Amino acid sequence: MVYLNHLDRPLSSQNYLIVAQISKTMSQKNVLRRSHLGIPGNESQLIDEAKESDADMIFIDLEDSLAPSEKNDARGELIRTIEEHEWDNKTLTYRINGTNTRWWHNDIIDVVEAVGMKIDSLIVPKVHAQQI
């Protein structure tokens, strides 16, 4: 995993890219990334549990945890979930669908337009090169 924001440090060797800071408040948040907790985008009932966990970062998944028929509805649920909760010292991110799918563009545009100021970063999966 490659991490790109003001720390610019690698996190692991997986094929993911955490894209640059979205929220203007990122520098004021806890930036530790010792543990990540992933939640499927269509299971917002798990949010309270995740917020109470010791994980430094919560990522809401729109990719592998969802069947193709669930992806559009899950994007709307992700937006509602982010709007309805305060994230305190948790780093909040979400994983979009791969750039070789039909969902990735809306995963970025819809979510960032709606709740971009509450999100710290987004994860782009299956990155194999520096360019898309």
Residue 111 exposure: Cα atoms within 13 Å on the Cβ side: 35
Q: Which CATH architecture has domain 2-125?
A: Alpha-Beta Barrel (3.20)
**CB distance 75 to 41 below 8 Å:** yes
**Which pLDDT score, from 0 to 100, does residue 26 have?**
45
- Distance, in Å, from the CA atom of 117 to the CA atom of 63, rounded to the nearest integer, reads 22
Q: What is the pLDDT of residues 33-87, one digit of tens each?
A: 788 899 999 998 898 899 889 888 999 999 999 999 999 999 999 999 999 998 8
Indicate if the pLDDT at residue 15 is higher than 80: no
Helix and strand totals (H; E) in the chain:
3, 6
Q: Is the pLDDT of residue 30 over 90?
A: no
Predicted local distance difference test score (pLDDT) of residue 82: 93
Domain boundaries, the chain: 2-125
Phi/psi for 40 (5° steps) reads: -60, 140
Class of residue 61 by CB neighbours under 10 A (exposed 0-12, middle 13-18, buried 19+): buried
